[in-house]
Amino acid sequence: MSRPFLEVKDLNVRFETDDGIVQAVTDSSFSLEAGKTLGIVGESGSGKSVTSLALLGLHRTRSNAKVTGEIWLDEQELVSASDADVRGLRGGKMSMIFQDPLSAMHPYFTVGSQIVEAYRVHHPGVNKKVARERAIDMLARVGIPQPARRFNDYAHQFSGGMRQRAMIAMALVNDPKLLIADEPTTALDVTVQAQILDLIRDLQAEFGSAVIMITHDLGVVAELADEVLVMYGGKVIEKGPTIDLFQRPQHPYTWGLLGSMPRLDREVRDRLIPVKGSPPSLINLPSGCAFHPRCPYAGRNGDRSFTEVPVLTGGVHSVACHMPPEERNRLFQEDIAPNL
Amino acid sequence: MVAYLIRRLINAVLTLLVVTLVTFGIFFMVPKLTGSDPALLYIGKTADKVAVEGIREKMGLSDPILVQYGKFLKGIVAGRDYANGPDVQHCDAPCLGYSFKTEQEVTPLLMDDLPVTLSLALGAAILWLIGGVTAGVISALRKGSIPDRAVMFIALAGVSLPIYFTGLLSKQIFVNWLGWLPEGNYVPFLESPSEWFIQMLLPWITLAFLFAATYARLTRANMLETLGEDYIRTARAKGLTERIVIGKHALRSGLTPIVTIFGLDLGALLGGAVLTEAVFNLRGLGYQALQAIRGNDLPVILGVTMIAAFFIVIANLVVDLVYSAIDPRVRLG
């Protein structure tokens, strides 16, 4: 039996800091087939960015970071691979679009030269002229007008949307099989956000890449993702096909996320329902279910919520919650769904 | 770009003009306020009245202050004649007047001292730039390691210890005890490059140590900040080797602030490194200034001040131009 294109098994990422050990990601497992899109949602500090950086092996340069588990990309295991092997894949077979393109691009080098650099590091035999043509071609593909002229501009001379397009051109210049987009639209105007998402979707169709879309915006996930992973306190607490997850969300935290999402078809007088409380400290996670301090239903399960870590169960659409499935379904139908 | 350059040059000239105004004002008003007579300073207190009046007339000391200042400026730009009847003395441009003490022209006096100061400042600058920046980069890349701690400890010592301590100590060790370097005096480069080098070695190292310490700390801080930038993460995410990530992407931004500080430090030192020159008996501008201050030799003090101001203004201009060349975000205009 062959593995999925990307398979992550029991991924753990921890950082040793002066304040203690930060358990940023705990026992995360998920997989993704080529050409599909996985959405990872969660609050700040839920472990979604740390997970994506772990896929690229970018924690390796941090001496205080420890990554364990397995990451299989196209039948190749990455956690135990050598630095040089992972570096060879980075920017080539797998690449990443970052959140804020202004700070993610070098201020002293032209945008074009940064794309050329990304191309040539994975195509060592290619001369500068060919690489330049390739970069200009990529700038044109992502919809930058006058690409040959913009090639010589610096990141600060681009508008926000154009900058993110250039960032995407840089990420796609080597035809990556896995593209990770870490909140690619957060720093952009709403009108530009839609353009960028369309662009990513079109390019995905064209290149056939697998895409991981990291976001706190459920609207983005609903629009782009085939599957969704909900993370909380460094753990995957719910995952499933997008439609299923939006129609029948299982975890009280997911209910909270959906309830706090503004919707046009909602009555104006209805107020948004925020998830009460704040995200847990990753140095000192709450005992048992990490969500219990914020969960309105924690008391219903006896002591289990406070002492026992819930396990992700349930097949295609799975959830990590101590509540019995029947009770969860009933609660959702009666209390939650009418208010969403 | 050209318009910017012209504007900056005009600015530089104006700045120097203000410097002349202020220094001239201070140095020629002070004797008036304290009741001492410049003419007496020239000729000595025992001279007879006729001679004093002669000097006063010749140096133009009885003119109104603005006329004196005008003549002083004209002297810098075009040279001037000091005349008392048939007794005419011509002073070539840039004329900075005559020393009270030696009655020599100030300009050639200072020009004789300039090579010494240039040798000291440029040699030390090369040393501290290479030493300080290298130490700072290594420190940043190995943050928290033993080499990092060692470099930072030495740098702290370098910043805290004054030149007259490190200078005299190194002189005692390397010249008197070990005998590795000769006790001696400055030898012009053109006379004997090897002698010049040997004589300058200890002053260079002493002066460079002080600056290298500052540069090491500054470089380390800049590099650490740069290494935390998003674009360094992007560079790694592209699959670039650590060598290129550090050597190209991180150094480029980490060292840019050093350029500014380096230009200004060098500019300031070219006006004379008083302590180093005094400790090592180097007859440079700083030494000259020290002598002039001790002897109340106002024209020489004025001259040294003018030269120092000139170098600082030029250094500022060069730094701004270089900065705009290396940081594309700085727009000229």
- Residue-wise pLDDT for B183-196, tens only, equals 767 888 888 888 88
Residue B173 identity: I
Chain A segment 159-178 residues within 8 A of B by beta carbon are 170
Banded model confidence at residue A13, pLDDT cuts 50, 70, 90: very high
What string of DSSP letters covers B163-189?
HHHHHHHHHIIIIIIS--S-------T
B252 contacts on A by Cβ (under 8 Å): 106, 108-109
**Average pLDDT rounded to a whole number, residues A173-180:** 92
Shared domain for A86 and A9, answered yes or no, is yes
Considering chain B, tell me which residue range(s) the CATH 1.10.3720.10 domain(s) occupy: 106-326
Residue B140 identity: A
Determine if the peptide bond prior to B94 is cis (ω within 30°).
yes
Banded model confidence at residue B324, pLDDT cuts 50, 70, 90: confident
Instruction: Kindly report the CATH number assigned to the domain that includes residue A193.
Output: 3.40.50.300
Percent of chain A with pLDDT over 70: 96
CA nearest neighbour of A172 among A87, A102, A91? A91
Dist. CA A319–CA A8, nearest whole Å: 17
Dist. CA A168–CA A195, nearest whole Å: 12
Per this entry, what is the length of chain A? 340
pLDDT of residue A213: 94
Element (H, E) at A15: strand A6-17
Instruction: Look at residue B61 and tell me whether its pLDDT is greater than 60.
Output: yes
Instruction: Look at residue B333 and tell me whether its pLDDT is greater than 60.
Output: no
CA nearest neighbour of A285 among A237, A334, A252? A237
What is the dotted CATH code of the domain comprising B106-326?
Answer: 1.10.3720.10
pLDDT of residue A297: 86
Task: Examine the fold and report which residue of A283, A302, A333 is the final residue of a domain before the chain moves on.
Answer: A283
pLDDT of residue A154: 93
Dist. CA B264–CA A172, nearest whole Å: 44
Instruction: Look at residue A74 and tell me whether its pLDDT is greater than 80.
Output: yes
Shared domain for A108 and A151, answered yes or no, is yes
pLDDT of residue B79: 84
pLDDT of residue A186: 81
Query: Do B289 and B270 meet the contact criterion of CB atoms below 8 Å apart?
Result: no
Percent of chain A with pLDDT over 90: 53
When the pLDDT of each residue in chain A is averaged and rounded to a whole number, the result is: 89
Shared domain for A146 and A206, answered yes or no, is no
Instruction: Look at residue A269 and tell me whether its pLDDT is greater than 70.
Output: no
Within a 10 A sphere around the Cβ of B222, how many other Cβ atoms? 22
Q: Please give the tally of structural domains in chain A.
A: 2
For residue B107 the two structure tokens come to: 């300009």
Partners of A9 in beta bridges: A70
Element (H, E) at B307: helix B298-326
Considering the domain boundaries, does residue A294 fall inside one?
no
Partners of B87 in beta bridges: B84
Residue B145 identity: S
Considering the domain boundaries, does residue A333 fall inside one?
no
pLDDT of residue A227: 95
Percent of chain B with pLDDT over 70: 97
Inter-chain CB proximity B241 and A87 less than 8 Å: yes
Element (H, E) at A23: strand A20-32
Burial of B241 (0-12, 13-18, 19+ CB in 10 A): middle
Considering the domain boundaries, does residue A304 fall inside one?
no
Dist. CA A274–CA A261, nearest whole Å: 9
Dist. CA A27–CA B263, nearest whole Å: 54
Within a 10 A sphere around the Cβ of A167, how many other Cβ atoms? 29
Partners of B303 in beta bridges: none
Considering the domain boundaries, does residue A110 fall inside one?
yes
Considering the domain boundaries, does residue A83 fall inside one?
yes
Query: Do A35 and A204 meet the contact criterion of CB atoms below 8 Å apart?
Result: yes
Instruction: Look at residue A185 and tell me whether its pLDDT is greater than 90.
Output: no
Instruction: Look at residue A30 and tell me whether its pLDDT is greater than 90.
Output: yes
pLDDT of residue A82: 92
Considering the domain boundaries, does residue A301 fall inside one?
no
Chain A segment 221-250 residues within 8 A of B by beta carbon are none
**Average pLDDT rounded to a whole number, residues B2-27:** 86
Please, what is the end-to-end C-alpha distance for chain B in angstroms? 7
* Distance from the B223 Cα atom to the nearest Cα atom in chain A, whole angstroms: 15
Please report, for residues A25, B244, B313, B317, the alpha-carbon distance to residue B12 in angstroms, rounded to integers and kept in the order given.
58, 39, 6, 8
Q: Of the candidates B230, B241, B253, which has its C-beta nearest A108's C-beta?
A: B253
Q: Of the candidates A89, A95, A104, which has its C-beta nearest B230's C-beta?
A: A104
Shared domain for A262 and A119, answered yes or no, is no
Dist. CA A58–CA A183, nearest whole Å: 17
Inter-chain CB proximity A117 and B252 less than 8 Å: no
CA angle A278, A8, A12 (to 5 degrees): 50
* B-chain residue closest to A54, CA distance: B237
For residue B307 the two structure tokens come to: 């030269």
Query: Do A203 and A171 meet the contact criterion of CB atoms below 8 Å apart?
Result: no
Banded model confidence at residue A7, pLDDT cuts 50, 70, 90: very high
* Distance from the A194 Cα atom to the nearest Cα atom in chain B, whole angstroms: 24
Asked if B327 reaches chain A (Cβ–Cβ under 8 Å), the answer is yes
pLDDT of residue B171: 85
**Average pLDDT rounded to a whole number, residues B37-50:** 72
Banded model confidence at residue A302, pLDDT cuts 50, 70, 90: confident
Dist. CA A333–CA A336, nearest whole Å: 6
Query: Which residues, 6 or more positions from B82, have their beta carbon under 8 angstroms from its beta carbon?
Result: B58, B59, B60, B88, B89, B90, B91, B98
Shared domain for A276 and A137, answered yes or no, is no
Banded model confidence at residue A8, pLDDT cuts 50, 70, 90: very high
Dist. CA B22–CA A152, nearest whole Å: 47
Banded model confidence at residue B238, pLDDT cuts 50, 70, 90: very high
Name which residue leads in pLDDT, B83 or B94. B94
Beta strand A76-77 with A20-32 is unpaired
Dist. CA B1–CA B127, nearest whole Å: 33
CA nearest neighbour of A144 among A119, A123, A115? A115
* Distance from the A199 Cα atom to the nearest Cα atom in chain B, whole angstroms: 21
Dist. CA B298–CA B312, nearest whole Å: 21
**Average pLDDT rounded to a whole number, residues B248-268:** 90
Banded model confidence at residue B133, pLDDT cuts 50, 70, 90: very high
Shared domain for A167 and A23, answered yes or no, is no
| Sheet (strand A178-182) strand order | A94-97, A178-182, A210-215, A37-41, A227-232, A235-241, A318-319
Between helix B256-270 and helix B193-227 the angle, nearest 10°, is: 150
Please report, for residues A70, A119, A123, A133, A166, the alpha-carbon distance to residue A129 in angstroms, rounded to integers and kept in the order given.
40, 12, 13, 6, 19
Instruction: Look at residue B332 and tell me whether its pLDDT is greater than 80.
Output: no
Shared domain for A71 and A114, answered yes or no, is no
pLDDT of residue A276: 79
B327 contacts on A by Cβ (under 8 Å): 107-108
Dist. CA A146–CA A96, nearest whole Å: 25
Banded model confidence at residue B279, pLDDT cuts 50, 70, 90: confident
Residue holding tokens 């295609």? A316
Shared domain for A34 and A183, answered yes or no, is yes
For residue A194 the two structure tokens come to: 């839609």
Q: What is the CA radius of gyration of chain A?
A: 21
Dist. CA B62–CA B68, nearest whole Å: 9
Shared domain for A78 and A181, answered yes or no, is yes
Please report, for residues A24, A93, B262, the alpha-carbon distance to residue A60 in angstroms, rounded to integers and kept in the order given.
15, 18, 35
B256 contacts on A by Cβ (under 8 Å): 108
Name which residue leads in pLDDT, A74 or B91. A74
Most distant CA atoms of chain B, gap in Å? 86
Shared domain for A207 and A133, answered yes or no, is no
Asked if B229 reaches chain A (Cβ–Cβ under 8 Å), the answer is yes
Asked if A310 reaches chain B (Cβ–Cβ under 8 Å), the answer is no
CA angle A255, A261, A265 (to 5 degrees): 110
Instruction: Look at residue B210 and tell me whether its pLDDT is greater than 80.
Output: yes
Task: Examine the fold and report which residue of A266, A283, A300 is the final residue of a domain before the chain moves on.
Answer: A283
Partners of A238 in beta bridges: A230, A319
For residue B311 the two structure tokens come to: 């170098």
Instruction: Supply the range of the domain harboring residue A154.
Output: 103-173
Shared domain for A164 and A196, answered yes or no, is no
Banded model confidence at residue B45, pLDDT cuts 50, 70, 90: low
B240 contacts on A by Cβ (under 8 Å): 91, 117, 121
When the pLDDT of each residue in chain B is averaged and rounded to a whole number, the result is: 86
Instruction: Look at residue A267 and tell me whether its pLDDT is greater than 70.
Output: no
Beta strand A210-215 with A37-41 is parallel
Could you tell me the pTM of the whole model? 0.82
CA nearest neighbour of A250 among A236, A260, A262, A266? A236
Asked if B227 reaches chain A (Cβ–Cβ under 8 Å), the answer is no
Within a 10 A sphere around the Cβ of B146, how many other Cβ atoms? 8
Query: Do B97 and B303 meet the contact criterion of CB atoms below 8 Å apart?
Result: yes
Asked if A122 reaches chain B (Cβ–Cβ under 8 Å), the answer is yes
- A215-263 confidence digits (pLDDT tens): 888 888 888 899 999 999 999 999 999 999 999 999 999 988 888 777 6
Shared domain for A152 and A6, answered yes or no, is no
Instruction: Look at residue B219 and tell me whether its pLDDT is greater than 60.
Output: yes
